[in-house]
């Protein structure tokens, strides 16, 4: 059977998209460079390059997408709802609070560890007959003409030659496919790395997510399964991360958390291994060229400050599948360039809004000018008291106004 779609890149976006396509009765070849782990122990989720130590805050819209795929029951076992969001700045008077009950929603989203999200997605992909999963494979060439996309790939000693009407490149921020089709990027280095780990606190998290802006960087503390477990995402200045990493620095890291966060979480008692990830914004000049469409970090890599990156990618995938289905219903070419360009245009408004918001927050809260700090904190107070603002912001954060 002629495969209609090839996906290059089997991270969380690529796996999710493959499942969306299969549910729509579209056959998929999914290529991933790194060998996937075998899940012999049902209680473990080994790290993979795409399912690492980080955590994902799934927006309500993302939860709805996984519900539609029939995956949420499996994911929910490893997820924790966010019932409140508290935003503060260290050493300042401003604060803002969002409460799910007041906004008349079940939750603002769900926090899940990437290792578990990846395990559930990969398990489902392996059970899906319409998805052919090829891991440990490196794409070496990508060309296209008016009718097909052609790729060559290497897996061990085996040479693969594949063709398709449509290729979806979800192969990350340094995408080979993006380079192969001649698409450039705008890149901004934030001069930060994100310190990521899991901690245990003396006070239960009560499903509250905290965002604490500090001179060191914006610290996010999110609830995880288990009453006292929380995820930490802390962007700090590049070059300073060494003092936070390694077992010998466990106590130093806990003390820094305590000083920055105060006693809202009680005492920071234990920390897991810390990992660091460089932070930059990478935006592709185009997202559709001929029969190739860019997806995930290959299209837009953004700062994690508001936890919007993966949710934005899932909305992209959801809309792309809708455009492809419309072609199939009309018995038209699934990879027709005009349809892919129409998809790109349909997504620009949502993408640009999220990208601008995340970038503005990072730049705005990184400046320690006293006048700007006053303006920021006045804004936080206004957010907390002016009617009508909270529901609007909450809907955008939940991905419901995309």
Count: domains in the chain: 1
Flag whether 377 is in a domain: no
**And the tokens for 286?**
């185009």
CA distances 334 to 9, 71, 328, 339, Å, are 20, 26, 6, 8
Vertex 314 angle, CA 312 and 317, to 5°: 115
Q: Is pLDDT above 80 for 94? A: no
Specify the DSSP class assigned to residue 35.
Answer: P
Q: Which residue has the tokens 């966010």?
A: 82
CATH number of the domain that residue 226 is part of: 3.50.50.60
In a domain, 24, yes or no: yes
Instruction: Determine which helix (DSSP H) or strand (DSSP E) holds 8, and give its type and residue range.
Output: strand 5-8
* HSE-CB for 27 with a 13 A CA cutoff: 8
* Cα–Cα–Cα angle for 20, 24, 29, rounded to 5 degrees: 65
Confirm whether 197 is domain-assigned: yes
Answer for the pair 94, 378: CB distance below 8 angstroms, yes or no. Answer: yes
- Report pLDDT for 145: 95
Give the residue-averaged pLDDT of 204-233: 86
Q: Order the strands of the 55-59 sheet from edge to edge.
A: 55-59, 109-113, 79-81
Contact (Cβ atoms closer than 8 angstroms) between residue 118 and residue 47: no
Q: How confident is the model at residue 100 (pLDDT cuts 50, 70, 90)?
A: confident
In a domain, 89, yes or no: yes
The reported pLDDT for the residue numbered 185 is 96
Looking at the predicted structure, is the pLDDT value of residue 175 above 90? yes
Q: What is the bridge-based pairing of β-strands 275-284 and 185-201?
A: antiparallel
pTM: 0.86
Q: What's the pLDDT tens digit per position in 125-147?
A: 999 999 999 999 999 999 999 99
CA distance 202 to 200: 7
Would you say residue 397 lies in a domain? no
pLDDT of residue 372: 46
Query: What is the distance between the alpha carbons of residues 202 and 186, in angstroms, rounded to a whole number?
Result: 44
Residue 234: predicted pLDDT: 86
Signed CA dihedral, 396, 398, 400, 402: sign only: positive
Structure tokens at 205: 């998290």
Residue 229 lies in a domain: yes
Percent of the chain with pLDDT over 70: 83
String of DSSP letters for 268-329: EEEE---EEEEEEEEEES-SEETTEEE-GGGTEE--STTS-HHHHHHHHHHHHHHHHHHHHH
* 270 within a domain of the structure (yes/no): yes
What per-residue confidence (pLDDT) applies to 173? 92
Inform me whether the pLDDT recorded for 386 exceeds 50. Answer: no
Q: Residue 84 forms beta bridges with which residues?
A: 99, 208
What percent of the chain has pLDDT above 90? 50
Q: Which residue has the higher pLDDT, 237 or 98?
A: 237
CA distances in angstroms from 386 to 99, 191, 349, listed in the order given: 15, 35, 26
* Domain range enclosing 318: 5-364
Residue 386 lies in a domain: no
Task: Supply the Cα-derived Rg of the chain in whole angstroms.
Answer: 21
């Amino acid at each position: 059977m002629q495969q209609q779609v090839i996906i290059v890149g089997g991270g969380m976006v690529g796996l999710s998209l493959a499942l969306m396509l299969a549910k729509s009765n579209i056959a998929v070849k999914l290529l991933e460079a790194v060998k996937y782990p075998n899940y012999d122990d049902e209680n473990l989720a080994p790290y993979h390059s795409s399912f690492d130590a980080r955590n994902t805050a799934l927006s309500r819209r993302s939860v709805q997408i996984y519900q539609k795929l029939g995956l949420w029951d499996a994911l929910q076992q490893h997820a924790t709802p966010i019932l409140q969001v508290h935003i503060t700045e260290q050493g300042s008077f401003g604060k803002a609070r969002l409460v799910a009950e007041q906004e008349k929603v079940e939750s603002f989203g769900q926090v899940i560890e990437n290792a578990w999200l990846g395990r559930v997605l990969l398990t489902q992909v392996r059970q899906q007959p319409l998805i052919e999963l090829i891991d440990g494979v490196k794409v070496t060439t990508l060309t296209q003409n008016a009718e097909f996309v052609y790729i060559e790939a290497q897996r061990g000693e085996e040479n693969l030659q594949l063709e398709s009407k449509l290729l979806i490149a979800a192969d990350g921020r340094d995408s080979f496919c993006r380079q192969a089709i001649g698409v450039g990027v705008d890149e901004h280095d934030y001069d930060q790395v994100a310190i990521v780990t899991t901690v245990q606190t003396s006070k239960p998290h009560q499903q509250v997510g905290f965002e604490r802006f500090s001179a060191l960087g914006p610290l996010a503390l999110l609830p995880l399964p288990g009453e006292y477990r929380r995820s930490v995402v802390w962007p700090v200045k590049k070059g300073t991360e060494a003092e936070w990493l390694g077992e010998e620095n466990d106590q130093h890291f806990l003390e820094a958390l305590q000083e920055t966060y105060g006693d809202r979480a009680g005492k920071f008692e234990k920390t897991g291994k810390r990992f660091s990830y460089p932070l930059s914004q990478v935006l592709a000049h185009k997202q559709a060229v001929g029969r190739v469409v860019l997806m995930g970090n290959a299209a837009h890599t953004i700062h994690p400050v508001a936890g919007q990156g993966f949710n934005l990618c899932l909305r992209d995938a959801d809309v792309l599948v809708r455009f492809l289905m419309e072609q199939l219903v009309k018995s038209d070419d699934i990879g027709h360039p005009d349809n892919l360009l129409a998809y790109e245009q349909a997504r620009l408004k949502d993408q640009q809004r999220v990208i601008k918001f995340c970038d503005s927050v990072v730049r705005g809260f990184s400046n320690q000018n006293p006048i700007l700090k006053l303006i920021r904190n006045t804004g936080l107070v206004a957010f907390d008291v002016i009617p009508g603002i909270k529901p609007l912001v909450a809907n955008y954060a939940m991905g419901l106004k995309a």
